[in-house]
Structure 1
Amino acid sequence: MPRASFVWLARAVAITLFLLLVLVGGPHANAAESHQPREAWIPVTEGGAQPTTAWSEFCERFPAECAINPAEPATIQLDKRVWKAIVATNKHVNATVSPREDIDHWGVIDRWDYPNDGYGDCEDYQILKRRLLVEAGLPRRALRMVVVLDELGQGHAVMAVRTNRGDFILDNKRDAVLPWHQTGYVYIKSEGDKSLAWVTLGNQVVITSAVSR
């Protein structure tokens, strides 16, 4: 195994162990002390959406990463320990993965994959964050990949964590984990939580309050 890949694997194992300790240890709480989110979920409109070709190819290579288990909860009960794990994961991956466009990284326009060599673009960050949170015990069904338009009107991928207190966004552009309506993004489509089909999101026109990074 190349040294860079070994170092990356060691880091991933370390953060997974940390998250397990956070989620397993300590008393439960009703909500994060310093975060009182408004109950709000990303609106979903009627009809399905077409996933990107690169996502479909990713699912062919890693079918378990895209599978829906209906026995899992579709929302996460948010408490202090879960919130701490979510924030820590977002910050850790943002700090340890370096940005690199797919054409420079893989030699293709669009590829969704794990940043095992320490490099990736927006969707690669989110794929890794989900894997770490799933390994720490959170339900994959409540961790959804989402396609948005960013503050520049460009396509961007984030991950939505659906909780009993609303949808929160993990983003490689910022370490803060924000409620979906505070990102300033236009929400286009996301994975569904009932099947492999994607869903259309109902925020294509109205852009909510932007938050500076």
Structure 2
Amino acid sequence: MADPIPAWSRMCTRYPGECSVDLSEPAIVPLTPAIWKLLVSVNRRVNHTIRPRADREHWGVEDHWDFPYDGFGDCEDYQLLKRRLLVRAGLPARALRMTVVIDEHASGHAVMLVRTDQGDYVLDNRRSEVLPWYKTTYIYVKREGDYGAGWVSTREMVSPIGVASHL
């Protein structure tokens, strides 16, 4: 187990339904061509619709997780919107896990892992491509758990070192 991000916990107070885990849902989805197309489409659409804005500038605080209702947000806000759209399209929320990573600049970053029968894939506001987790440049720290409010450590998941755009 791992402690959730404090800003995540505050968001869960505002939107409790976003943080609950329905144990009757599958934790892994079959990666069909239709689901792949949906993942790529939602990732690209949100990435091209939302404009980047740091929490300090946007909300006046260091870390604030929320939906980008005004068209602006930072990494976790993009991912929350992607998850909401994917759930509305029929994917189980339990297979869509918010994840905290360390990027190539040694900074914290949030992505969403989609847990599939062909491995975990990453939706990221820094790229249009949906990649397997190990093809990113990130060190994975922790993600939402599959069984409740707690998060789980992912420190054993270390991807290759590389260069990606910094946002």
Same fold at TM > 0.5: yes
Corresponding residue of 1:63: 16
* Number of aligned positions between the proteins: 165
Work out the CA distance in 1 between the residues paired with 2:163 and 2:60. Answer: 33
Q: Which residue of 2 aligns with 1:158?
A: 111
Which digits, 9 at most, give the CA deviation of each residue in 1:152-200, with x for residues without a partner? 1110000000000000000000000000000010000000011110001
Matching residue's letter, 1:185: Y
SS in 1 for 2:130: strand
Deviation at 1:211, TM superposition (A): 6.2
Select which of 139, 142, 158 maps to 1:186: 139
Q: Aligned partners of 2:156 and 2:63: how far apart in 1?
A: 24
Q: Distance in 2 between matches of 1:172 and 1:113?
A: 15
Q: Superposition pairs for residues 1-213 of structure 1, below 5 Å?
A: 48-203=1-156, 206-210=158-162, 212=164
- The whole-number CA distance in structure 2 between the counterparts of 1:163 and 1:114 is 25
Q: Give 1:4's aligned residue.
A: none
Q: Where in structure 2 are there 5+ consecutive unaligned residues? A: none
* Conserved 8 A contact 1:100-1:120: yes
> What amino acid is the match of 1:77?
P
SS in 2 for 1:69: coil
Letter of the structure 2 residue corresponding to residue 51 of structure 1? P
Give me the whole-angstrom Cα distance separating, in 2, the residues matched to 1:164 and 1:207: 19
**Cα displacement (A) at 1:202:** 2.9
Cα pair distance change 1:177/1:92, threshold 3 Å: same
Q: Which runs of 5+ in 1 are unaligned?
A: 1-47
Work out the percentage of aligned pairs sharing the same amino acid: 55
- What amino acid maps onto 1:152 in structure 2? H
- Residue pair 1:144, 1:160 contacting (<8 A) in 2 also: yes
**TM-fit CA distance, 1:207:** 4.0
TM-score computed with the length of structure 1 as normaliser = 0.75
- Answer whether contact 2:46 2:82 (CA < 8 A) is retained: yes
**Structure-2 change in CA distance of 1:127 and 1:157 (3 Å):** same
Larger radius of gyration: 1
* Aligned alpha-carbon RMSD (Å): 1.2
